[in-house]
Amino acid sequence: MNNFHFFPNRLSAKVSAALAITALVPMLSQAQNSMPTLSNPNVSVILDGYYQSEDRLMTERAEGFGLGETELALSANIDDMFYGKFTSVFESHDGESEVHLEEAFIQTMALPNGFTVRGGRFLSDIGYLNNQHSHTDSFTSRPSAYRAFLGGHYFDDGLRVSYIAPTDTYWLMGAEVFSGDSLRAADEHGERDFDSTGVYTAFTKIGGDIGVESSWQLGFSYLRNENGQLTAEDHDEDEHEEEEHAEDEHDHAHSASYTGKNTYAADFVFKWAPNGNYKYQHLTLSAEYFRVSDFMLPELHDEHEEEHEHEEEHHDEGHAKDYHEAWYVSGVYQFSPNWSAGLRYGELDSQLQHEEHFDQQELKETELSLAWHNSHFSTVRLEFSHQSNVGFEQAENDNVITLQYVMSLGAHGAHQF
């Protein structure tokens, strides 16, 4: 489904372990056509920088100049049975540099009957965008559904088993188990006893071609979060704690802003290219829907209903939604080899715990993107976004302009469908 091909490069400079932790910038020599191995790994660096005119809710990009997800990745076939990958991400936040280990996994290569096992730290395969690195996106930030429920993109320590069915139509099925630290519900006082293995997922993706010019994919995902339900807040929460909660809305730690016990997701993608040649012209239409239910413990829900049972003025609050939901639709059209334009609209409908009741929140975002691609390895993007929200601490209707560059150095694998 993808027409891009890349060739691995040989790492020609030996870099010490200390430099690898801080700022490993390997020197790459002439490309080789041999398969990547431990002595000849694929090495790539993704440079992501930006300027943004205003802050946006729950985004990793702040107002002003900043460093986005600048990525260092190494991957290779370990032997005839295993493949390995390492990805570290460098970001800037409040003028300070941060380093995250995003991927460090091994994956089987020779299991029979279409089975694959992956273990270590990796991106979950739920939804459409989550298993893709952010530099492959057509917009500067992930949709609000991902930022609110998955911390932008959900990566974790765990195990995955997947299976590709031997059918004419592409059919992938899989299940994952994770520690779930970044998806835990808030624990202001540090008194909760969280499960060490807290997240379980199941997903399926079905897809195929329509002639030589079009292809499609439909996906369904389920995430079970054993540590995702809220507990009752301390009733003497002071203003300082409320301010801290407001700051959490702009958290940059890749933690989910809203959690729950059950998350259901559906996604659909359609791609078109004249004569099947994606290099010169193509259209991508996509949409996803997320619903997060059971976000508070049963006893908290019962107390909440009881408190408002005889209070007419709180009737609406007492019968507020007991779930969060979000969705988006997106269209991206590359109308020439060097230019593409994208339009995306999304909505988030969430509930914020405030003492004994929940306040409804709503966020609407419209984003228009224009990108120039000098090659597949370099992109300069100008994006205009309008966000309107209700119920957030900073309830403003903002127009945000972002200028971003994304540059790829070295060998980089083909992007996913």
Q: Which residues of 91-120 are buried (b: 16+ CB within 10 A; e: fewer)?
A: bbbeeeeeeeebbebbbeeeeeeeebebeb
CA distance 358 to 230: 11
pLDDT of residue 6: 33
Domain containing 249 equals 111-122+130-401
Write the secondary structure of 126-157 as one string of H (helix), E (strand) and C (coil): CCCCCCCCHHHCCCCCCCHHHHHHCCCCCEEE
CA distance 55 to 73: 29
Taken in order 265, 142, 213, 173, the sign of the CA dihedral is: negative
In a domain, 249, yes or no: yes
Q: Per mean pLDDT, which range of 12-16, 58-62, 163-167, 316-320 is the poorest?
A: 12-16
pLDDT of residue 205: 98
Q: What's the rounded mean pLDDT across residues 262-280?
A: 93
The answer, yes or no, to whether residue 305 has pLDDT greater than 90, is: no
Residue 326: name the closest of 368, 371, 362, 282 by CA: 362
CA distance 343 to 232: 40
E strand map for 5-95: 9-11, 28-31, 42-52, 64-67, 70-77, 82-93
Look up the pTM and report it: 0.82
DSSP 416: P
CA distance 76 to 40: 8
**3-class state of residue 240 by DSSP:** helix
Please, are residues 288 and 143 in contact by the beta-carbon 8 Å criterion? yes
Q: What's the rounded mean pLDDT across residues 124-129?
A: 96
Q: What's the rounded mean pLDDT across residues 124-132?
A: 96
What does the CA dihedral 142, 146, 151, 157 come to, rounded to 10 degrees? -110
Interval 77-112: pLDDT, tens: 999 999 999 999 998 776 677 888 999 999 999 999
Query: pLDDT band at 414, cuts 50/70/90?
Result: low
CA distance 61 to 70: 13
Q: What's the rounded mean pLDDT across residues 150-172?
A: 95
Query: Taking all residues of the chain, what is their mean pLDDT, rounded to a whole number?
Result: 82
Q: Where are the alpha helices (DSSP H) in 268-351?
A: 298-307, 315-318
In a domain, 165, yes or no: yes
CATH of the domain at 282: 2.40.160
- Amino acid of residue 108: T
In a domain, 188, yes or no: yes
How many CB atoms are closer than 10 A to CB 319? 10
pLDDT of residue 29: 39
In a domain, 201, yes or no: yes
Interval 179-214: pLDDT, tens: 999 999 887 666 778 888 999 999 999 999 999 999
Strands 398-410 and 42-52, bridge-based pairing = antiparallel
Taken in order 385, 387, 392, 396, the sign of the CA dihedral is: positive
Please, are residues 208 and 171 in contact by the beta-carbon 8 Å criterion? no
Angle 382-136-397 from CA coordinates, rounded to 5° = 45
Q: What's the rounded mean pLDDT across residues 364-382?
A: 95
The answer, yes or no, to whether residue 316 has pLDDT greater than 60, is: no
In a domain, 365, yes or no: yes
Residue 311 in tokens: 């209070």
The answer, yes or no, to whether residue 123 has pLDDT greater than 50, is: yes
Q: Which residue has the tokens 């990796």?
A: 122
In a domain, 12, yes or no: no
In a domain, 37, yes or no: no
DSSP 231: -
Q: What's the rounded mean pLDDT across residues 206-230?
A: 94
pLDDT of residue 76: 92
Total domains in the chain come to: 1
